[in-house]
Amino acid sequence: MQNKLTWSLGALLGAALAVVPSGVFAEGRPSLVNTRIRTPFGSNGHSSTVDGRVFIGNVREDAATMTTTWRARVFRPEAVTYDASGLPSFSAAFSTGRTVDVHDGENALAFCFTNPAQPYTLSGGIAVYQPFLFDSQMYNGDNIFRRRPVDVRVSQPFTTQAEISSFTTGALEKLTTVTGADIRGIEPTMTSDGRLLIYQGGPANNGNIDHMMYAYNATPCARTGWSTPRPLSMMFNDPNAGVKRYPLAWKRLKAATGEDFGDTTSGALVRGAYAWVDHEGRNLVYIAVTYTDGARREAVSLVGADTNWTAYHIDGAINTDRMDLAHLFYSGPMWNFEQERLPSRNFPPGQSNEAHYLPVTKTHDVLALFGSNTGDYNEVDLGELMDPFHLLFLPMNELVTRAGAYDLARTPDLSGHFYTGTMVGGASISPGNAVTRSAPTDSLWQPHGKGKALMVPGGSALAVNLTDASGTVPGVGASVRGLSVEFAVRPDADIQTGCTTGNPYRYLMQKSGGLDIIYEAGNQVNFSLVVNGTRVRLGFSPALPVGQWSHLAYTWDGVTGVFNEYLNGVPTNRTLPVAPGTARLGTGTLYIGAGANLDAQRCPVNGEGSFRGAIDEVRIFTHARSNRSICMTAHGANCREEAIQHTPSAGQFAMSAQAPACTSVAALNTQACASAMHRGCAQRGAGDAMASTSNTWDTILQLVSNRPPISLAGVPVASTATDLTVACAPIQHQSVAVTFEELARIHSGCTDERVMTGTHCTAAAHRFCNSQGWTTGQVFEVTSRPWVGCFNSGLQTDVEKSVLGPVSNLGDYTVPGSRLEVSQWCRAQGYGAGVVQELPSATKAHVHCFQPAVTATWKYAP
């Protein structure tokens, strides 16, 4: 089969949508990353249960009597409402609750559950929670961690009337290490397994604070036997295998500039306060910068596996203004209330989140965070942070240094290349959120930037030094066959006032010898890219409104030469040049907001002037992005229906154009190739399914509802040195995000993405899908959590490994050769492909053979 498309999803879907009855389309879900929402929940230190249903917070302190008042409240997602724009209201979502006084100098607290899979029991219609609460002694400078059992009972649970019926506490016990020492610090937070404790303390374990510290215990919630406390940045070199289970420990932590945090107790450690670790130990939320009161209470930040182990000062509503208020404690319910979560996996089992859900922002991975001291709710999008094709990602917010201070002269690069941007000529980062609103909700469905923005008043720019000593960075020193550029822009309302002569065009971006983006006199944009050494200009875009935000994106597919231009996530459908070949920006300075000359003329009569306005979220990718991907990152744009109808460019249908590490048959059993096959199938399979009348309706429902979109798993069938033949799973399927914590409960070896293509995760996916009524399962993608595809196979049988082929006969069914043999065996049985699901014995594999939605051959390299 040739590597080209013979169908038009846009034409097929456009015709099909014309006959879709009203009510089929799901309600749109806005992005809330720019929207801080007030809640009635307030306290000092607080913690929430692993199911997200009970919050306990410190609501009163009396130093004279060492008395702290704790209030337990029920969070009731059933009472969350949404206005016409999709904005949630929490006015009735928290119960009044009950209080209890404790008298031992308590500060902040953390729940610890010995069995997180069952956080409560039901007794006579009452939900009974009996976890431990960990806290520290706040007064007298002791800062000693303790634990105590608590009993919290909820009447009318899981309803809009749920309330705390009783709240009692038990005996207090100090925590001790393996050497019998106290653990000293404040503000504890714990992973849901009860084994990893993270807190604010000091490397000497003497009660000093201001550093992120941790301790580990193989026994959940134990009183004794905790490891000697170590700085957070030493997790990566901890010899304890239990610690290495957590993704936070997999790599060395880095500051926003790429500098390493220290690997000894005397090094440059992570300074922070008020930490919250997510349930599986992937990421840590903490506060990084000192506030006006001298305490570390500003710049809510994130570090971990989903930030590429790099400290990320969160850009968005949670950090609305640089010094707006003291930020202290945040926590989140993880994925418990997401709309797409299967009812069978909810608390309680069987309850649907369809009508009452968090997060609202509909991208793959969003943290829902409740603040207690701030009395607010915020959403943080993790999905935007990690992309293997990032060449440059400038959020245009303040840089936070390794020492934990604002650097207002620079902005970080989140791509992993650390191409930090530097202000020149009067450019600055806006002190507050650059999204302007005349009413609380009127920008949710208007294009906008995200959080802070680069402000360029003319004659100024952000300078980015692109370096590549090795000549191997794709798009800088090394040529690429695809490139995408995205950014949000808001021209000053008076940008053209008085400019009546000459040709007053201005640079939005300029990289000599690579690309330039010009803001023309008619408020249009002209994108140029150097392809094969020749500058290719796209001509004038539609006119942009002044004084308002627009989202612009340009993609170039070097295989076909096709350019695409998108305004607010929608194709402009202009006729554009075609230029196949290769491109690279080259080393040197990329200027954003002006050209290299920083022309300060109010009206640049001879052109080459400087832009005046705001620029935000500048992202450059080393492949041609799909319209759907662009739509997902165009904040405020209502573009979904147009995006899913836009036919992908042919150059996207190569394995390494979907995941750069999928370059040969040797990589077939990697996470990269699993992702590449799925992403190719998600686009190709949808189109082929649309061409089949038997599958049309199911496909429409997948594409336009709030079910997960078409996410067909891909299975390898045959391979040459250059091409891979992929069988896409049947169109009748279910694709859903789970967590590795949940998969590990099904099969203990499926612990994280490092083993996602191994037999443990295959067995876990198989059993998970069986529980949902499907025969076959496969982990087809990992974002901040695994995604499982469930479908039905026509043949399920045990097969001797010798019968499958010589590679399989060696006993490792995960190697590329065995995976191909399994598919070939199934083809000999009259099916299109197959997968191994279980290992019933040392000599047999449990094989499932299926008929694919489509089988296609794609290149490894474009």
CA atoms within 13 A on the CB side of 31: 31
541-574 pLDDT tens trace: 999 999 999 999 999 999 999 999 999 999 999 9
What is the edge-to-edge ordering of all strands in the sheet holding 296-304? 273-277, 283-290, 296-304, 312-313
Which pLDDT band, with edges at 50, 70 and 90, does 690 fall under? low
The number of beta carbons lying within 10 Å of the beta carbon of residue 150 is 21
Q: What is the 3-state secondary structure (H, E, C) of 372-403?
A: CCCCEEEEEECCCCCCCCEEEEECCCCEECCC
Q: Which helix (H) or strand (E) holds 706?
A: none
Which pLDDT band, with edges at 50, 70 and 90, does 683 fall under? confident
Q: Which helix (H) or strand (E) holds 212?
A: strand 211-216
Confidence (pLDDT) at 66: 87
Residue range 629-635: average pLDDT? 91
Q: What is the 3-state secondary structure (H, E, C) of 660-699?
A: CCCCCHHHCCCHHHHHHHHHHHHHHHHHHHHCCCCCHHHH
Instruction: Map tokens 């096709």 to a residue.
Output: 562
Rg of the chain, C-alpha, whole Å: 27
Distance CA 378, CA 371 (A): 8
- Asked if the model's pLDDT at residue 17 lies above 90, the reply is no
Residue range 723-727: average pLDDT? 96
67-117 pLDDT tens trace: 999 999 999 999 999 998 899 999 999 999 999 999 988 888 999 999 999
Report DSSP state, residue 151. E
175-202 pLDDT tens trace: 999 999 999 999 999 999 999 999 999 9
Dihedral, 444, 446, 451, 452 alpha carbons, nearest 10: -150
Q: Which helix (H) or strand (E) holds 164?
A: strand 163-169
Tell the burial category of 285 from Cβ atoms under 10 Å away from its Cβ (0-12, 13-18, 19+): buried
- Asked if the model's pLDDT at residue 692 lies above 90, the reply is no
490-543 pLDDT tens trace: 999 999 999 988 889 999 999 999 999 999 999 999 999 999 999 999 999 999
Report DSSP state, residue 651. G
CB burial string 572-593: b at 16+ within 10 A, e below: eeeebeebebebbbbbeebbbb
Q: Are 474 and 622 in contact (CB under 8 A)?
A: yes
Which pLDDT band, with edges at 50, 70 and 90, does 578 fall under? very high
Query: pLDDT over 70 for what percent of the chain?
Result: 93
Amino acid sitting at position 53: R
Which pLDDT band, with edges at 50, 70 and 90, does 643 fall under? confident
Confidence (pLDDT) at 4: 31
Distance CA 333, CA 340 (A): 15
Q: Are 221 and 194 in contact (CB under 8 A)?
A: yes
Confidence (pLDDT) at 8: 44
Tell the burial category of 626 from Cβ atoms under 10 Å away from its Cβ (0-12, 13-18, 19+): buried
Q: Are 584 and 595 in contact (CB under 8 A)?
A: no
Residue range 257-272: average pLDDT? 95
Length of the chain (residues): 862
Confidence (pLDDT) at 533: 96
Confidence (pLDDT) at 779: 96
Distance CA 519, CA 608 (A): 10
Q: Which helix (H) or strand (E) holds 823?
A: helix 816-828
- Asked if the model's pLDDT at residue 222 lies above 60, the reply is yes
801-842 pLDDT tens trace: 999 999 999 999 999 999 999 999 999 999 999 999 999 999
Q: Are 378 and 387 in contact (CB under 8 A)?
A: no
Q: Which helix (H) or strand (E) holds 356?
A: none
Amino acid sitting at position 602: R
Distance CA 511, CA 741 (A): 46
Confidence (pLDDT) at 138: 79
Confidence (pLDDT) at 691: 63
Q: Are 205 and 228 in contact (CB under 8 A)?
A: yes
Locate 139 and state its tokens: 């007064």
CA 396 to chain centre: 18
Locate 853 and state its tokens: 């939605």
Instruction: Map tokens 């797409």 to a residue.
Output: 340
DSSP state string for 809-821: GGT-TTSHHHHHH
Q: Which helix (H) or strand (E) holds 730?
A: none
Instruction: Map tokens 């041609």 to a residue.
Output: 624
Which pLDDT band, with edges at 50, 70 and 90, does 846 fall under? very high
- Residue partners of 271: CB distance under 8 A and separation at least 6: 210, 211, 212, 288, 296, 403, 404
* 700: three-class secondary structure by DSSP: helix
- Return the percent helix, strand and coil in the chain, to nearest 5: 15, 35, 50
Locate 556 and state its tokens: 């170039």
Confidence (pLDDT) at 1: 29
Tell the burial category of 481 from Cβ atoms under 10 Å away from its Cβ (0-12, 13-18, 19+): buried
What pairs with residue 74 in β-bridges? 54
411-430 pLDDT tens trace: 999 999 999 999 999 999 99
Confidence (pLDDT) at 7: 37
Which pLDDT band, with edges at 50, 70 and 90, does 62 fall under? confident
Q: Which of 430, 392, 398, 402 is nearest to 411 (CA)?
A: 398
Residue range 641-669: average pLDDT? 88
What pairs with residue 482 in β-bridges? 557
Confidence (pLDDT) at 849: 98
Distance CA 508, CA 524 (A): 11
What pairs with residue 483 in β-bridges? 556
Confidence (pLDDT) at 699: 63
Phi, psi values for residue 430, rounded to 5°:
-60, 140
CA 444 to chain centre: 20
768-790 pLDDT tens trace: 999 999 999 999 999 999 999 99
Distance CA 690, CA 698 (A): 9
Dihedral, 611, 616, 619, 624 alpha carbons, nearest 10: -80
Report DSSP state, residue 11. H
Confidence (pLDDT) at 194: 98
- Residue partners of 373: CB distance under 8 A and separation at least 6: 42, 43, 44, 326, 327, 328, 329
Locate 717 and state its tokens: 């069938």
Confidence (pLDDT) at 862: 86
Least confidently predicted of 138-152, 238-252, 633-647: 633-647
Confidence (pLDDT) at 644: 74
Locate 511 and state its tokens: 């990289």
Which pLDDT band, with edges at 50, 70 and 90, does 5 fall under? very low
Q: Are 16 and 696 in contact (CB under 8 A)?
A: yes
- Asked if the model's pLDDT at residue 322 lies above 60, the reply is yes
Going from the C-alpha of 152 to that of each of 99, 157, 275, the distances in angstroms are 11, 12, 24
Tell the burial category of 233 from Cβ atoms under 10 Å away from its Cβ (0-12, 13-18, 19+): buried
Going from the C-alpha of 762 to that of each of 156, 307, 435, 769, 847, the distances in angstroms are 39, 27, 45, 11, 11
Distance CA 625, CA 672 (A): 17
